Amino acid sequence: MSAISGMTGFGRADGGLDGWTWTVEARSVNGRALETRYRGPHGFDSLERLTKAAAQVRLNRGQVTVGVQAKRAEGSEPAPRVNEAVLATYLRLANQLAEEGATPPSADGLLSLRGVIEVAEEDEDAEGRAAVEAAMAVTVEQALDALKLSRQREGEQLTPVIHDFVGTIEALVVRAELEASAQVEAIRERFTRRINELAPDAPGLDERIFLEAAALATKADVREELDRLTAHVASARTLLQQPPAGRKLDFLMQEFMREANTLCSKSATTPLTGIGLELKAVIEQLREQVQNVE
């Protein structure tokens, strides 16, 4: 039997290669669909696409944030270099301004100008950069695996809570069925009393009371609502054994509440109305828990 998962969790993994070290953190919160956000180091352009693809393989719902923090060991960073062509252009312009009376530029001033100092990229070692990126992608997958495990642990905690709420709903439906059987008699007695108060000597009173009471009892019949509530209880238990079921459970909660509202509106007795209100309260509590199910 598969187990349901939650949508809140955290996972972390570390890695390193060729002077690079990195840490990947993946966290998620509730969401109607799967939304993956990525933050990572400059120069590893394919890592975002790989991260989102890895999340889609493992997760179905939730807002997921994956962050990659990477750094290079001292001495392994690319050495800075002077772009002589850019420097020559700045010098020519500076000399022209100096001839017109401007202050000649200083060496540190020229070196601070944009484009003069460059940090060599790893373009000349594309294979090495690709190997580091591939290793980072593996660490991302490890962090997402840890996140998935965290969400599964949340699901293990949610499962008995949800089953308890479903069991409470089932027990309330049984109580409602017992109370509903007394509705016809309650309606007849109430209608008889009102008619006798208003027109005690009216001809054909007994037959009229019977017909009107029957009509009211038909309107107040809650057997269909109770049957549907019973069916929804069975559906909830089935869905809990067939994850991912969060979306379907969300919809089922709406159906639960619709039947409970109708039950309350049709109720002709105070006890049945009380049961209906209890049902609504428990269904709302169940809905809050279902919001955490993947």
Contact 110, 91 (CB under 8 A): yes
Mean pLDDT for 21-29 is 97
pLDDT, residue 122, reads 47
Name the least confident of 17-21, 35-39, 276-280: 17-21
Shortest CA distance to 252 belongs to which of 272, 275, 229? 229
End-to-end CA distance of the chain: 16
Q: How confident is the model at residue 61 (pLDDT cuts 50, 70, 90)?
A: very high
Length of the chain: 294
Bigger pLDDT: 210 vs 72 = 72
Integer Cα distance of 182 and 179 in angstroms: 6
Q: How confident is the model at residue 162 (pLDDT cuts 50, 70, 90)?
A: very high
Q: How confident is the model at residue 104 (pLDDT cuts 50, 70, 90)?
A: confident
Bigger pLDDT: 16 vs 198 = 16
9-17: strand order across its sheet: 9-17, 20-29, 62-72, 34-39
Integer Cα distance of 168 and 95 in angstroms: 88
Strand ranges inside 168-284, DSSP E: none
Integer Cα distance of 220 and 183 in angstroms: 8
Q: Collapse the DSSP code of 194 into the 3-class scheme (helix H, G, I; strand E, B; otherwise coil) and give the result.
A: helix
- DSSP one-letter code for 79: P
Contact 200, 233 (CB under 8 A): no
Integer Cα distance of 125 and 272 in angstroms: 77
pLDDT of 242 above 60: yes
Bigger pLDDT: 293 vs 96 = 293
Question: What does residue 58 show for φ and ψ, rounded to 5 degrees?
Answer: -100, -30
pLDDT of 158 above 70: yes
pLDDT, residue 99, reads 76
Identity of the residue numbered 190: R
What integer best gives the mean pLDDT of the chain? Answer: 85
Mean pLDDT for 116-128 is 65
Highest mean pLDDT among 86-90, 205-209, 255-259: 255-259
